[in-house]
A and B are shown apart, each in its own frame.
Chain A
Amino acid sequence: MEDFILQMSHITKLFPGVRALDNVTLNLRRGEIHALVGENGAGKSTLMKVLSGEYTDYSGELILNGEAARFKGVKESEAAGVAIIHQELGLIQTLNVCENIFLGDEVCQNGVINWDIEFKRAKELLDELNLKVNPKTRVGNLGIGQQQLVEIAKALNKRCNILILDEPTASLPEDDSENLLALVRGLRDKGMSIIFISHKLGEVLSVADTVTILRDGETVDSRPVKEFTQDTLINGMVGREIKTLFDQRDCPVGDVELKVSGWSVFDGINDKWIVQDINIEVRKGEVVGLAGMIGAGRTELGMSIFGSFEGAITGKLEYMGKERPPFKNSNEAINAGVFYSSEDRKRFGLILNSDIAYNASLSSLDKFIAGRLFVNKNKEYGKVKEMVEKLRIKTPSILQRAGNLSGGNQQKICLAKALMTEPRVLILDEATRGIDVGAKTEIYRLINQMAGQGIAVIMISSELPEILGMSDRIYVMREGRISAEFDNKARNVTQEDVALAATGGATV
């Protein structure tokens, strides 16, 4: 019999209306690196939250070291030797390295923290990880790669024997990633069992011993890494064919509406370039897809063009054929005719407690002001009703609370809000995230209509089928840069092409 340190079988986890995990199986051998791959939303993070005890209401079996276990919180799973390093760093930026490593596990004598022991142990851990920083350094002053190592030190300090890394290299530059992978291999050789979640398939193939592929909450494949290639991995992850969702669009593509060149964005808080040296353009009536993995800098690029990203921006912006300074804020961008619709509609797209009319007209209120002071509700409601009909938003009334609508209809309100500003350039960030297929086709139809009206659309999306089915041209971003550009007029670019460019497999 094989030596499994962890066996998760028949795990099912329901969210309201969604089967996030459906009968999932994951078997982790002692001392192996087990990669867990899948598209965004395939259920990888949910499965890990089941393991770490953050979700308790699941069905299925979890056997750790031969004994059935069911954790009721992070504390319990940690005590059993499971440590998880989340995708978004769980470090406190304002505390120093040593304090972060020992957060929750302070070494105390008579209630007073023993700094001597903590510093000594912190130094040992940092030496082990080959990280040359003073434990007294504030974490906020470290680079993202160093912070990642501090996270690992924190996990090691808990004396775990199962380490879960959720996209540890997503935001790391190439050489930092290499260091990290070498380190992960080193930990395995010392006997640690590691679950490694990553979108970077090249990395998965080089570091993992076993790969499990999740798709739509189900395990589709689990085999030794030797039996996979980049292509079979991508096939397993993507699986389905959906070409019929997308209608033909034959509107003419006009002049360049918006163009950025040498566009770079620096985040001074985290001390790093998020977007570097981008040259892209979008034409009237054109839909341009912006593909790439989470953390590649697509959202930041969109927001920086829209003037709503806090950071230093360099580069040239050409709009409507003329060069102009970058938009200082969203207001300036909207007035000029550029609109960005956020990827997180519940936090940044809508005010859920307010009604549809309020949300739809929020960005274009200037158009409904009577006598320079009051909102002319007749005019406002008239326009909103028109939009609700045009976008086929299913609601009994435009005074319905936005939060009561389904995800698809909420997304349509976001589009209505965008369209009511009468934009010339529309940046849609993950416009179909978390909505069902029927609603998706409607959104695609609307995007086609917009392009037909001559709006230049930049569509940011992590879903390859819609990028391929909708875009006239495709830009792929990786680690803050454009890694590839494809002409997709004939809809002949393949998922593999884009996935390779996004994960770093291809050379451009």
Chain B
Amino acid sequence: MTNKKVDLFGLFYQNSLAVEAIVIFLIFQVLTGGMFMTFRNLSNLIMQGATCSIIAITMCLVIITCNADLSAGRFLGMLGMIAAIMQVNYSRIPSGLVVLMVFAIAVSVGLWHGFWVGYMKLPAFIITLATQLVFLGVNQYISNGRIIGPVTGIIAEMGNGYMPSISGKRNDTTLIVGAIIIIAYIWFEIAKERKSIKQGFGATSLGKIVPKIVLVTALAAAVTIILYNHKGFAYAMLILFALTLIISYVSKNTKFGRYIYAIGGNAEAAALSGINVSKELLKLYVLHAFVVATAALVFLGRLNSATTAGGNGYEFTAITGCVVGGTAITGGRGGVVGAVIGTMIMAALDNGMSLLNLNPALQYIVRGAVLLFAIALDAYANKRKAKMVHAV
């Protein structure tokens, strides 16, 4: 049995991220009568999506190890509240110190999660389900249900600050940064290709590499133009961008990163290869808590105040984003960049539904359905592969 027909499903599955993005953008553009794709809204969308996208950076690594973190949203809310209270009630503490204290709390929570999941080998799902409730309780207890704000200093800048102009002209830094990113990217791709040839792996076919470079360049250019036309590059975006690059690099080029994938692929084989699975999981949860804390500061800075509802459901958006972005819920497969893009698509979905003033009840249903669809798609693709007879 050979399969000579064009594998339509396979084609769709491989490019599902792009297909889903295009479908969502087109639908909202039409439904909102053109309100969706304006510079202003798209810039807002990126700002709104930044928080969850930052969470997704390490959430995807957690999922890759076959674990989960259901507490990320409430954890973010609690950290935001702690930072806000420190700033408002104890205004003598400099904002830099507040940031450091938030990170310290985050690291200890990461150690706590890592201890239970890594060393006690309990299911992460239950552990973080429990701590989620604790975080919500702490948040309500210390705030008494009040809204605390406004915030100042570094925290405000992290969430709401934009890069200053150099020459005094409007948003020139945005263009410069955008150009640098595009040039660096193209240079990086060429260097990678050269290296591959030097190592004797042969050249990647031009038909594969050129469309990729063109697509990424176009995307970067589009984002730069959007931001140029509305306020410019925010620090929040730079944080998202830098963290994505760094952690993506770490996940692919360090022992730690490789072990993460090995544990998710086959934990027993990983242990037999001499990997200390418990220790690597502990490290991952600490890193994850650190990244969530960063997201918490960005979130707090953007909203300017903390509430007890802060972060509600963010873990859901991040997890959905990871799955949409190609992270396998069964572990071992996926990547940081895909997860961030996937989460941005989820942010676009949220943004579009808000623009339409869709009934919140319906919004929940749509978001749940999207997660189900993404998982079902992955499961179906795997099942299909198991049943497919290849020419051997």
Contact = CB atoms under 8 A, between A and B. Distances in A.
B77 interface: no
Interface string A259-287: 00000001111011100000000000000
B272 A116 contact: no
B241 to A, nearest CB: 20
Contacts of B195: 116
B274 interface: yes
Contacts of A115: 253
Interface string B239-263: 0000000000000011100100110
Interface string A68-98: 0000001100100000001001111111000
A113 B258 CA distance: 9
B389 interface: yes
Given A266-B389, A271-B392, A112 B254 contact: yes
Contacts of A106: 255, 258
Nearest to A86: B272
Interface in B245-291: 253-255, 258, 261-262, 264-266, 269-270, 272-275
A92 B274 contact: no
Interface string A111-122: 111011001100
A311 interface: yes
Given A95-B265, A267-B386, A272-B392, A90 B272 contact: yes
Contact of A103 (B275, B386, B387): B275
B169 interface: no
Contacts of B264: 94
Tell me which of B275, B385, B388 has the highest count of chain A C-beta atoms within 10 A of its own C-beta. Answer: B388
A86 B195 CA distance: 35
A136 interface: yes
Given A92-B266, A106-B255, A268 B272 contact: no
Nearest to B258: A99
A123 interface: yes
Nearest to B333: A94
B390 interface: yes
A351 B27 CA distance: 49
Contact of B253 (A112, A312, A314): A112
B360 interface: no
Interface residues of A, number: 38
B201 interface: yes
Interface size class of B (residues with CB under 8 A): 20 to 34
A116 B199 contact: yes
A123 B202 CA distance: 13
Contact of B385 (A89, A93, A94, A269): A269
Residue from A89, A111, A272 whose CB has the most chain B CB atoms within 10 Å: A111
B386 A310 contact: yes
A399 interface: no
B254 A111 contact: yes
Contacts of B270: 92, 103
A273 B392 contact: yes
B208 interface: no
Nearest to B264: A94
B332 interface: yes
A459 B261 CA distance: 41
B269 A92 contact: yes
B201 A92 contact: no
A344 to B, nearest CB: 16
A103 B262 CA distance: 8
B273 A104 contact: yes
A134 B201 CA distance: 7
Interface in A442-474: none
A437 interface: no
A479 B274 CA distance: 32
B298 to A, nearest CB: 27
A413 B270 CA distance: 36
B200 interface: yes
A435 interface: no
B269 A78 contact: no
Interface in B168-222: 195, 199-201
Contacts of B392: 271-273
A113 B254 contact: yes
Contacts of A108: 254-255
A269 B269 contact: no
Contacts of B390: 268, 271
Given A99-B262, A268-B389, 17 more contacts: A74-B272, A91-B266, A92-B261, A93-B265, A94-B266, A95-B258, A99-B261, A106-B258, A112-B254, A116-B199, A120-B199, A123-B199, A136-B201, A310-B386, A310-B387, A311-B386, A312-B387
30 contacts: A74-B272, A90-B269, A90-B273, A92-B270, A93-B332, A94-B264, A95-B258, A95-B262, A99-B261, A103-B275, A104-B274, A106-B255, A108-B254, A111-B255, A112-B253, A113-B254, A113-B258, A116-B199, A119-B201, A123-B199, A123-B200, A134-B201, A266-B389, A268-B385, A268-B389, A271-B392, A310-B383, A310-B386, A312-B386, A312-B387
Interface of B: 195, 199-201, 253-255, 258, 261-262, 264-266, 269-270, 272-275, 332-333, 383, 385-390, 392
